[in-house]
Amino acid sequence: MTDPLDERDIAGAPLAVVARAAEPYLASLPDRPVHDRAQDPLLDELDGPLPDTGDGAVAAVERLVRIGTRAATHSSGPRFFHFVVGGSTPAAMAGDWAASLLDQAAGLWLTSPLAARAETVVLRWLKELFGLPPGFGGVLTPSATLAHVAGLAAARHWWAAGHGVDVASQGLAGLPAMPVLTSGLVHVSTRKALQILGCGRDTLRTFARDDAGRVDLEAMDAALAGAGGPAVIVANLGEVNTGDSDPITELADLAERHGAWLHVDGAFGLFAALSPRTAHLAQGVERADSVTADGHKWLNVPYESGFSFVRDPASLSRAFGAWGAAYLPDADEERINYNMLGPESSRRARALPIWATLRAYGRDGYREMVERHLDVAAHLGGLVEAAPDLELLAPVRLCIACFRYRPEGVPEERLDELNARLGEALLADGRVYAGTSTYRGMTVFRPAPLNWRTTKSDVERLVDVLRELGARLTG
Ligand SMILES: *Cc1c(COP(=O)(O)O)cnc(C)c1O
């Protein structure tokens, strides 16, 4: 096979290969191990020299699907609890395939009115879902990290303007460091965004009153009073070790009092707004200047999917628009060019899987799913408390239970090493997936059940396997 033009009449055939594999693969997810290391040698079959003569699409895709369905980490199944990772609802996955099928150049209205309109619609639906004001602007991004880049670039533009500089055009030279203040709950991606933006990741100042990272409002208040100019507050809604959140309303009050920019990281925590049981945690987000969230976590849309919302819609175009290229069309209320509102230029129709899943399950479906996950996490917390060899380390909040293995007779100073080895053993075993993290200086597990497939029996399995492997390590 040489020129792909030779396949123009059979272009659907490789898609049929994927579609045929989809049914049995998806049906296998509830029962198969999350990762089977015995399949890792298959990865060698991806390797080899660049072929001179190609295999043709069907053979190439058959090979890819054969390797992939065996050697992948089956993280879209119900028992992948490492980090904060979502799955992909049936509608979202099919919507994503549709995005590939249609292959829209989704940066400009001119190249795809479909993608632009779908993005406008899903941003409006998401604002409704999260209780954000309808007047907020927004843009879809590949991730929460890039949503931080969008929101904090808007903040940086506002801050530099306060110093009389148009940072989009002139850059940061000659300006002082931008003051960015947060609590100990801050996620590393905020530092990464500041690093990308040239603000420096280590300029971030954290104000914590305890080793769990809870915010010291008085100290932050005093620092804002002494900042001598505009400043940025980052509020954290849903921390990755315990699901804990900053008091958003109090931080919004501080921002208001000091004329600061309020940026909220709600990567998964913003979904607290979906249930009356947790909505109080998200209260105050509607007062933020910029808000970050992820689609590929609790929304259960395939990678890559994130969103940035901003109070002043023009703040994104000030930060990302007007590239000085005469051939690009001007912005317009109706015909929105989303590549002027975020860090990407060319981009895919990221709205389509979001549209499909919101259309399929609606506000009620998502509330039910979120509440199921709240129940599953609480159930996990209960199992941990009931187990004599497990120790719950924080109250269960949102979808996270933070605990460690602590069998009788093991001295405190050996627990970190034991839990680290147990984490390794769990990943090597592969039946359930959860690794370790560090919380208040301890090596801990902090599984986050937020996959749409996950039910109570999956976290029961996690506890059973953990205790079984733990007993083997200590026995
Ligand atoms: C996952 C996460 C991020 C980063 O999200 P990406 O989509 O991986 O870029 C930021 N903040 C919090 C609280 C997160 O859980």
pLDDT tens digits, 262-289? 999 999 999 999 999 999 999 999 999 9
Look at the pTM and tell me if it is higher than 0.95. yes
Mention every residue, 6+ apart, whose C-beta is less than 8 A from residue 135: 311, 313
Pocket lining for ligand 1, CB < 6 angstroms: 84, 143-145, 187, 189, 238, 240, 265, 267-268, 294, 306
Question: How many Å lie between the centroid of ligand 1 and the Cα of residue 83?
Answer: 10
Position 330 pLDDT exceeds 80: no
Provide the b/e sequence for 343-381 (b: ≥16 CB within 10 Å): bbeebbbbbbbbbbbbeebeeeebbebbebbbebbbbbb
pLDDT band at 475 (very low <50, low <70, confident <90, very high): confident
Question: How many Å lie between the centroid of ligand 1 and the Cα of residue 145?
Answer: 6
Its CATH class, for the domain covering 362-474, is alpha beta
pLDDT band at 322 (very low <50, low <70, confident <90, very high): confident
Question: What is the average pLDDT score of the chain?
Answer: 96
Distance (Å, whole) CA 339 – CA 345: 5
Distance (Å, whole) CA 190 – CA 182: 10
Closest residue by Cα to residue 77 from 66, 89, 87, 91: 87
pLDDT band at 3 (very low <50, low <70, confident <90, very high): very high
242 neighbors 269 (Cβ within 8 angstroms): no
Position 331 pLDDT exceeds 90: no
**pLDDT given for residue 321 in this prediction:** 87
Position 328 pLDDT exceeds 80: no
pLDDT band at 2 (very low <50, low <70, confident <90, very high): confident
Closest residue by Cα to residue 473 from 419, 402, 436: 419
Give counts: helices (H), strands (E), the chain.
14, 11
Where helices occur in 275-411 by DSSP H, the ranges are: 279-282, 314-320, 351-386
Distance (Å, whole) CA 415 – CA 417: 5
Question: How many Å lie between the centroid of ligand 1 and the Cα of residue 303?
Answer: 12
Ligand 1 atom closest to the Cα of residue 143 is: 7
Ligand 1 atom closest to the Cα of residue 238 is: 13
- Residue to mutate (ligand 1; options 140, 187, 264, 290; most atoms within 8 A of CB): 187
Tell me if the domain spanning 95-358 has CATH number 3.60.21.10.
no
Report, as an integer, the average pLDDT of 222-247. 97
Position 332 pLDDT exceeds 80: no
Distance (Å, whole) CA 385 – CA 391: 7
316 neighbors 342 (Cβ within 8 angstroms): yes
- Residue to mutate (ligand 1; options 83, 141, 145; most atoms within 8 A of CB): 145
**pLDDT given for residue 378 in this prediction:** 98
Ligand 1 atom closest to the Cα of residue 266 is: 13
Radius of gyration of the chain (CA): 24
Q: What is the pLDDT of residues 333-347, one digit of tens each?
A: 789 999 999 999 999
Q: Which amino acid is at 256?
A: E
Distance of CA 414 to the CA centre of its chain: 33
- In angstroms, what CA-CA distances link 64 with 12, 50, 55, 351? 16, 15, 12, 26
236 neighbors 245 (Cβ within 8 angstroms): yes
More confident residue, 323 or 13: 13
- Give the containing element (helix H, strand E) for 442: strand 442-445
Q: What is the pLDDT of residues 65-102, one digit of tens each?
A: 999 999 999 999 999 999 999 999 999 999 999 999 99
Report, as an integer, the average pLDDT of 349-356. 98
Residue nearest to atom 14 of ligand 1 (CA): 267
**pLDDT given for residue 329 in this prediction:** 64
CB atoms within 10 A of CB 43: 11
Question: How many Å lie between the centroid of ligand 1 and the Cα of residue 146?
Answer: 10
Residue nearest to atom 12 of ligand 1 (CA): 267
Hey, is 278 helix, strand or coil?
coil
Question: How many Å lie between the centroid of ligand 1 and the Cα of residue 144?
Answer: 5
**Structural domain boundaries of the chain?**
4-72, 95-358, 362-474
Q: What is the pLDDT of residues 396-410, one digit of tens each?
A: 999 999 999 999 999
Report, as an integer, the average pLDDT of 296-320. 96
